[in-house]
Structures are given as C-alpha cells and as structure tokens.
C-alpha cells in the first residue's frame, strides 16, 4: 500500500461506499504504521467490501509499545487514585459524546446489529464508571504482630497490562475490559481482534484528549504475530485474555516464559434447563433472547446453545421457539428494523455452516433455518437455526458454535438433566427456567458454571463477578476481584528500633526519683 495517507481518525470517516480509511495504531504515545508496513483489511461483513485497513504489528512494534507503556505507567500509578478515577469518568463522558458514531463503526466492522452496538457503548461506559468508583479500593491489610514489628500489605499495579480481546464485542471489550487495569494504575496495551480493530482505534482517538500519552495503547495485528509477541515480551507481567479455548491454552503456555500472571475468559457451551412449570411461550422467548442474536448475532461467549426441555412441555415449547425464530428479521445490521445481521467474517461464516452441516449428517432434525437467508446473496449471513432430536453425543450438543444456532434436547429426571448439563469441559454460564424456588436453588447449586441465571437469562447486574469454570477460564471479571487482579501484593514488615530515642522516653515521675 504505497502513497496512501495513514490517519488516526476513524470515527465518522469509515463508511460504506466511501474510500477505505488507512488507520494508524496508537503506540508509544503517538500514531504509527507497522515497522514492516504490513496491513490488514477491515471488511464490512454485510457488503464484503474493504472499508479500512489497519497496521499488522510485528515484534519491533510490540517492543516499542511495551517500552513506552512502561515509561507511561510510572506517572500514571503515581497519580492519586481520585485523579485517575476522575480521568476515567472524563473518558466515559467523551465516549458518550460520540456514542452513535462508535456504534455505527462497530456495525460496519463486525456486522452486529446497531441496537446491540449502541448497548455495547452503554456497557463500556458503565464499566469505566464502575471501576472509576472502585479505584481507591486497592488497600492492603495489616497482620497482628508484637510491639517490635509492624507488618502490612500493599497492592501495587503491575506496570504494563496486555489486554487481548476477541472480535465479537469490539468497543465494549476494548474499553470495558481495560477499565479495571487502568483504575488500578497500570498502563494498558489493547490488542483487538484482527477482524474488528476499528473501534479500539476509535477508543485511542477519544482517549488521546483525556488520558496522559502512552497510558492506553492500541496495537493492531494478528494474534499469531502481534498477540504472541505481546504475551512473550518480558516487559509484560500481566496478561488478560478473552477469546477461544485453544488460544487461551497457547497464551498460558507462552506466559510461562516470563511467569506472567494470566487471566482467561474463554468459550462456553452454555446449557438452559426448561422445567415443566414454565409458560412455554415465555420460556421460548427467554431461550431465544439468551442466544444473544440481537446483540451479536449469537456470537457471544455467554450465549445459550443447548436447551434441555422437560418432555411434558417439549412440543409446546418447540412450537413457540419456531414461532419466535420466524419473527426475527435478518438483514442489514445498520437498519434498526432488523434483529440480526451477518456473522463477523468469512472464515467464521464457513465454520458455522460446517457445524450446521455436521449436525444434519449426525442425524439432528433441522427444525428452523440452517442456510443463507433468501434474498441475501452477499454478506456472511446465516439464518437463526434450531436443531431438535439432538442427542448428548452429537457434536452440536458438545462443541461451541459461536453463532445463532441452538440444539434442543429433552429431559424427564431432574438429577439426570443436571448431570447431562454438567457433562462438558466448559462451564461459563448456565440457566434454569422454573417458578419453583426450591428447584431453582438446588439446580443453581449443582450446575458447574461460573455464572448461573435463574429466569431472566443474561441479566447481569454491574459488579456481579463473571468468569468461567473448567476450561472456560481462569479468574473473574466485572468485580472488585478483577480490580485486585491487576495489582500485585507486597508485604512490608517494619522492625522497630528496640530502644526509643531519649526524647521519646517517658519522663520519670516524682516518685521514681
């Protein structure tokens, strides 16, 4: 790409039909291209057209970014926490001022529906404000000792945090998932998903006017090159990753090199148990809502993808489910009238269609969808899809699809369905729909997942810890625990001088003379 102008301005400049914008990445307190000159295309999944390009960072860029972030981290951590909190609130205000262009940029880059992406900006702002409010809550503890010593702990930031995020909620993750690390006093380097990097660059564009230079960097590029180099850099002692299980394993292994602290938010194959006492029509609406189609075309780690319905309501529930899916409109995600848009990129589209093909050949019944919607010849579209007659051994009941695809299974014994729901290597979220509180309480206690929803699937109050069990992850986010995870504990034991100086000694009283 010779002669093209590289710019830091992506907000309001990237658009359909416009000439592609050639964006810079935000490292070392400035804006740059990759040292190699390599670039990645940003493709609008609705039109399959290139709307922008971003730098494909290599090890030299990573090294420059880390060194500059180390430098910036010293003055950032030295700021009184109230000042850091104030700046995070300022960043939240600045984001709110351009919420609509950010949401639009995410739609163009990811194909997620516009209403969902507006919601993502709201969530990102809420996370910034939540952690700004918690910024002072990194205090240590004291240990009981004798008179000669004082022993206490301090919590100090790591310095530089690598924040690697996936493609599915681009702005929300780049922003919200950096908030705790920033509040705790770290400089953060965000590595966005290579398919959806634009709104992370927009975040840096907004932050430029608010945060000190180098405190928040955005390094674009592939996972295999830029991501790997970032994780392996000796200047990075704290790695926070959100993405797939195989990449999580790779990152854990790579982080072993520097014995870095790693947290992982990984995939899910999230079950929903529908009990016999529910209203089948309402349960079907809840089940479809829990697929997160309107938010991210089903591409959410917490989406429900296997539903166990009690045999007594199976028929009515299935009919209601099909009815609800029929109501969903698939089309241009910029059009508010549409509930679903395309999947984020071509390879993922092919992968989801492969899962659908495999389910059919394994003998599941395709009850709804399963193909490209009629009339949408371009773009990475796939219909919301429902498989019935699924058995526990089928791949569609076991593997994460990460798309708008649901597998329906039946049950008749409560203990048995809980056992089946738990028979997975993954344990991110789980759901139960029932009006019976005793059943809800028992099932919630027995489900092996980091987050259990009883009714109201997907409703997560701010501050409620989120993080997977088993191979779905390590550590918790959206909580005080996350804030503390960006600090390292130091113990200080002060041994006091055995003899007090003469001026501090107690004066002898008259009677002592």
Active-site positions read 265
**CB-wise, 138 or 457, nearer to ligand NAD?**
457
Answer for the pair 376, 77: CB distance below 8 angstroms, yes or no. no
Q: Among candidates 416, 398, 384, which has minimal Cα distance to 290?
A: 384
Label each residue of 69-86 as H, E or C: HHHHHHHHHHCCHHHHHH
**CB-wise, 345 or 381, nearer to ligand NAD?**
345
Going by C-beta distance under 8 Å and a sequence separation of 6 or more, which residues neighbour residue 146? none
Helix, strand and coil content of the chain, in percent to the nearest 5, comes to 40, 20, 40
Provide the pairing of β-strand 142-143 with 473-474.
Answer: unpaired
Answer for the pair 36, 52: CB distance below 8 angstroms, yes or no. no
Q: Edge-to-edge strand order for the sheet containing 30-32?
A: 30-32, 25-27, 216-218, 187-191, 160-164, 238-242, 261-265, 473-474
CB of residue 285 to ligand NAD, shortest distance in Å: 24
CB of residue 307 to ligand NAD, shortest distance in Å: 18
DSSP, collapsed to helix, strand or coil, labels residue 93 as helix
Q: Among candidates 350, 337, 352, which has minimal Cα distance to 404?
A: 352
Interface ranges with ligand NAD (CB under 6 A)? 164-168, 191-194, 222-224, 227-228, 231, 242-244, 247, 250-251, 265-268, 301, 400, 402, 428, 468, 473
69 dihedral zone (left: phi>0; alpha: psi -120 to 50; beta): alpha
**CB-wise, 241 or 308, nearer to ligand NAD?**
241
CB of residue 305 to ligand NAD, shortest distance in Å: 10
Give me the residue whose beta carbon is nearest to ligand NAD: 223
**CB-wise, 434 or 478, nearer to ligand NAD?**
478
Q: Among candidates 412, 425, 391, 413, which has minimal Cα distance to 270?
A: 425
**CB-wise, 40 or 278, nearer to ligand NAD?**
40
Structure token pair of residue 277: 């006492």
DSSP, collapsed to helix, strand or coil, labels residue 318 as helix
Provide the pairing of β-strand 149-157 with 487-495.
Answer: antiparallel
How many alpha carbons lie under 13 Å from residue 159 in its C-beta half-sphere? 13
């Amino acid at each position: 790409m010779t002669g093209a102008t590289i710019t830091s301005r992506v907000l309001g400049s990237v658009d359909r039909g416009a000439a592609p914008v050639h964006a810079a990445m935000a490292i070392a307190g400035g804006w740059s291209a990759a040292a190699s000159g390599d670039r990645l295309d940003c493709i609008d999944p609705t039109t399959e057209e290139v709307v922008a390009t971003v730098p494909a960072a290599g090890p030299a860029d990573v090294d420059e970014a880390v060194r500059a972030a180390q430098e910036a981290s010293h003055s950032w951590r030295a700021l009184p926490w109230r000042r850091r909190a104030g700046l995070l609130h300022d960043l939240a205000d600045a984001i709110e001022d351009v919420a609509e262009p950010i949401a639009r940029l995410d739609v163009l880059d990811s194909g997620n529906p516009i209403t969902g992406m507006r919601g993502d900006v709201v969530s990102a702002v809420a996370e910034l404000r939540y952690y700004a409010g918690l910024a002072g809550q990194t205090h240590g503890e004291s240990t009981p000792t004798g008179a000669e010593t004082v022993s206490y702990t301090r919590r100090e930031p790591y310095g530089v945090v690598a924040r690697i995020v996936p493609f599915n909620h681009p702005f929300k993750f780049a922003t919200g998932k950096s908030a705790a690390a920033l509040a705790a006093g770290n400089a953060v380097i965000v590595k966005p998903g290579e398919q959806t990097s634009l709104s992370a660059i927009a975040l840096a564009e907004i932050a430029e006017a608010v945060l000190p230079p180098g405190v928040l960097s955005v390094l674009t590029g592939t996972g295999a090159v830029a991501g790997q180099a970032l994780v392996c850099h000796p200047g990075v002692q704290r790695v926070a990753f959100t993405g797939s299980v195989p990449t999580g394993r790779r990152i854990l292994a790579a982080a072993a090199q520097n014995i870095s602290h790693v947290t992982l938010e990984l995939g899910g194959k999230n079950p929903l148990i529908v009990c016999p006492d529910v209203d089948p029509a309402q349960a079907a609406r809840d089940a479809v809502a829990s697929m997160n189609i309107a938010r991210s075309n089903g591409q959410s780690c917490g989406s429900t993808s296997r539903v166990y319905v009690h045999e007594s309501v199976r028929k009515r529930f299935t009919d209601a489910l099909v009815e609800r899916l029929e109501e969903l409109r698939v089309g241009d995600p910029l059009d508010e009238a549409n509930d679903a848009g395309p999947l984020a990129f071509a390879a993922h589209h092919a992968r989801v269609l492969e899962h659908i093909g495999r389910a059919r050949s394994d003998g599941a019944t395709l009850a709804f969808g399963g193909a490209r919607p009629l009339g949408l010849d371009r773009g990475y579209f796939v219909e919301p899809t429902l498989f019935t007659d699924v058995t526990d051994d089928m791949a569609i009941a076991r593997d994460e699809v990460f798309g708008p695809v649901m597998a329906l299974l039946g049950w008749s014994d409560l203990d048995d369905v809980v056992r089946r729901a738990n028979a997975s290597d993954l344990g991110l979220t789980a759901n139960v729909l029932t009006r019976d509180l005793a059943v809800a309480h028992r099932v919630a206690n027995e489900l092996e997942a980091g987050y259990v929803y009883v009714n109201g699937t997907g409703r997560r109050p701010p501050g409620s810890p989120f993080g997977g069990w088993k191979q779905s992850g390590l550590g918790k986010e959206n909580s005080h625990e996350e804030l503390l995870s960006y600090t390292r504990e130091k113990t200080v034991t002060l041994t006091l001088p055995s003899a007090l100086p003469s001026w501090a000694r107690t004066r002898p009283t008259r009677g002592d003379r």
